[in-house]
Amino acid sequence: MQLPESEIGYILKGFPRTSETFISNEIYLLEQAGLKISIFSLKKLEGQKVHGVSRRINAAVTYLPEPSAYQNAGLVRWIFDNLTLFSRSHLRLFRMKPWVYAGTLFSVVSMSFKYADGSFKTAFRSFLKEFLQAGYIAVEVLNSGRIRHLHAHFCHTATTVAMFAAKLSEVPFSFTAHAKDIYRTDMNPGDLLSRKLQKAEFAVTCTKANYDYLDRLKPATSRLYRIYHGIDLKLFTASNNNRTSGPPLILSVGRFVEKKGFTYLVEACRFLKDEEWSFICRMIGGFDAYAETVQASIDSLDLADIVTIHHAVTQEELKSIYQAAAIFVLPCRITDDGDRDGIPNVLVEAMAMGLPVISTNISGIPELIKDKENGLLVPQKDSRALADAIQSMLGNPGLMKEFALKGLETVHRDFDAKSNTLALKQLFEQCLESARK
């Protein structure tokens, strides 16, 4: 009897998400390379800008029921409400695999004690929620007869769900670790991240800085790989067609969150204005609460006439904005709770568009930008150094051109998403081949 075609089940916190185009791009490229994908989204997101690549994905998307919020509910009431949501899946699992089900539930309880961090109830509700979601996915996996491997993006919530779902359905899982999910200890308390690295068939991360950190945590037998995301080099291509003769545009793109360092760019713009530089600055991104902080900084420094913030746009819309810019600046920082970027994809996009770039010397950014070779790096949280770097670029068109050309070389050599995704495809194919044996 011929076995049905194998699929990879992707577990994502939300899909599609405006700020996670790299995930959509990865799934699309894997499909183009011949893999079959199914997507499980823990949340159904509203009001997201949907990029073109997300619309080109063929994978079926299953949106899970959303567990009720538990901030104001008692534990017993919360358990009752959510068991009702997921009862059909879990009853079926219990009948199909009673000992596997009981063993996984025991893990939920034991992990709640081990990783309680002062509150068993909080930990138990968190792990139980993820267990309930995992049960829903596990039934879908078993019913499909095709999904033989699970893969999660971000190594906190989605990977915990994947770990439980893999145990319940008895298929292997893997995950990709990115940024705050690695470094914020509240997201993986104690040795939970090491446990996930041990249980996973393999793990992937997107920078060498992340790899080195995770390599110190993982058991010796665990498999860990560094694979850069890369970008669509057919979409992002260098062009000067839209650049005008007016004041140079300083462009910055990213979610309005603290780790992007936008307030330091605002302060740098104040230095530039005081020193009589002619420019305009646009910051574009998803409007998290931190956008109010950035706007307040703009207003307090009397910069509203030349520094503006704008809502997120699609990749296709962003391309024309890149073309109009003179330089791209992203002053990333490490926040007090450890949150940070890996290699922001917008830096790669800007370099692919032929823009000279300025960023900070933290995390994986120096893997992309070599200071004074293909761009400039400054210390984090240093608006004076940032202003000086901007001045050194705007005042030297020859330097800007040199950085732009070398940046293009870097991106085309190391950050082609199509080439990099093939490395991930090979890992998945190895797992699927093992599952067939």
Alpha-carbon distance 243 to 326, whole Å?
7
Contacts of 94 (CB under 8 A, 6+ apart): 101
CB 6 within 8 A of CB 36: yes
User: With a threshold of 0.75, does the pTM exceed it?
Assistant: yes
Residue of 308, 310, 299, 307 lying closest to 272 (CA atoms) = 307
Q: CA–CA separation, 217 vs 149, rounded Å?
A: 24
Domain ranges of the chain: 7-230+417-436, 249-414
Cα maximum dimension of the chain: 77
The rounded distance, in Å, linking the Cα atoms of 280 and 252 is 11
pLDDT at 3: 45
d(C-alpha 31, C-alpha 24), whole Å = 11
Residue with tokens 């890149």: 322
Q: Say what the pLDDT of residue 244 is.
A: 66
What single-letter amino acid sits at 319?
K
Tokens read off for 400: 């800007």
Tokens representing residue 27 in the block? 């799934």
7-230+417-436 shares its CATH topology with 249-414: yes
CATH assignment, 249-414? 3.40.50.2000
Contact 45, 23 (CB under 8 A): no
Kindly compute the dihedral angle of the four CA atoms of residues 256, 261, 265, 268, in this order, to the nearest 10 degrees.
Answer: 150
Domain 7-230+417-436 has CATH 3.40.50.2000: yes
Could you check whether the bond before residue 4 is cis, i.e. omega within 30 degrees of 0?
no
For 139, 184, 396, the CA distances from 122, given in Å and listed in that order, are 26, 17, 56
Q: What is the predicted pLDDT for the residue at 76?
A: 79
Lookup: tokens for 56: 């080109």
From first to last of the 437 residues of the chain, give the pLDDT tens digit. 334 578 999 999 999 988 899 999 999 999 999 999 999 999 988 777 777 888 899 999 999 998 876 656 677 777 888 888 899 999 999 999 999 999 999 999 999 999 987 778 778 888 999 999 999 999 999 999 999 999 999 999 999 999 999 999 999 999 999 999 999 999 999 999 999 999 999 999 999 999 999 999 999 999 999 999 999 999 999 876 556 678 999 999 999 999 999 999 999 999 999 999 999 999 999 887 899 999 999 999 999 999 999 998 988 899 999 999 999 999 999 999 999 999 999 999 999 999 999 999 999 999 999 999 999 999 999 999 999 999 999 999 999 999 999 999 999 999 999 999 999 999 999 999 887 76
Rounded Cα distance between 400 and 394, Å, is 8
CA distance 362 to 316: 29
Predicted pLDDT at 51: 77
Task: Please give the structure tokens belonging to residue 186.
Answer: 């509240």
Integer Cα distance of 140 and 146 in angstroms: 10
